[in-house]
Amino acid sequence: MRIGSFDFRPGLVPTAAFLLLLPGLIALGFWQLDRAEQRQGLLDSFDAQRTAEPVDLNRDRLDPDTMLFRPARAEGEFLTGRTLLLDNQTHRRTVGYHVLTPYRLAESDQAVLVDRGWVPAGDSRAELPDTAMQNPEISIEGHLDQGPPTGIRLGGIADGETGWPLRIQYIDYAELGDRIGTELLPVVLRLAPDSAEGFVREWRPEHPDGYGPERNRAYAVQWFGLAAALVVIYFAVNLRRRPEDLNE
């Protein structure tokens, strides 16, 4: 194909590579845009729910699907001897745990897991953080969530772990309820930042280092930029000046 004084003669190998790489780069760009939209939706939902009427876990009917991020309060007692440490949780690039302590609701056989915040891990796996409480019989406030994100579920919830606090890899309300010895509500209450008996709490669903939708959008621009660069390179390496034009 002639383009001005050039012939466009794509080879088999560069064409195959071009056709394989270009759709992938474009797909990755749109995937990052989709991730940005999801993250923005979480942020918008969190901000909108902050002004909603608090859920009273002792009295109100619980609907986790519609109550995500909604303020909540409860009266009862922490089961301090059954604290859980959710493994592989990071804060500002430091590895640690989220401390989850069950809270038995007053005049009820049910309990809710309370995320008391993040604590750093020790120098070795054998060293567990101090999760003791000064006053377990307090009223609590926070907001409802499904708990900190975890990776792919490989193996059991607490393989090789014994004793309390129990180090766990993910949250399974039914199994944890059996281990704790009481029925758990299918939500996590993330303890309010100004409440006592907590640790590091930065609850807005955006990474504390700024890993929000803006970073996903930046990644999308990078992928689309690579796709554009690939198109330019593909045409550049396959264009040849016509011989008659070289002699002019």
Tell me the pLDDT of the chain (248 aa) as tens digits: 566 566 767 778 878 888 899 999 999 999 999 888 877 877 777 777 777 788 999 998 888 877 888 899 999 999 999 999 999 998 888 999 999 999 999 999 999 999 999 999 988 888 899 999 988 999 999 999 888 777 667 788 988 888 899 999 999 999 999 999 999 999 999 999 989 899 999 886 654 445 678 888 899 999 999 999 999 888 887 776 665 554 45
Q: 110 - beta bridge partners?
A: 183
Helices and strands, number each (H, E), in the chain: 4, 12
| Distance of alpha carbon 68 from alpha carbon 143, whole angstroms | 8
> Would you say 2 and 8 are in contact if contact means Cβ atoms under 8 Å apart?
yes
| Distance of alpha carbon 28 from alpha carbon 176, whole angstroms | 37
| Distance of alpha carbon 24 from alpha carbon 21, whole angstroms | 5
Q: Where are the domains of the chain?
A: 2-41+211-246, 70-191
Which burial class, exposed, middle or buried, applies to 90 when counting CB atoms under 10 A from its CB (0-12, 13-18, 19+)? Answer: middle
Q: Which of 87, 112, 85, 88 is nearest to 99 (CA)?
A: 85
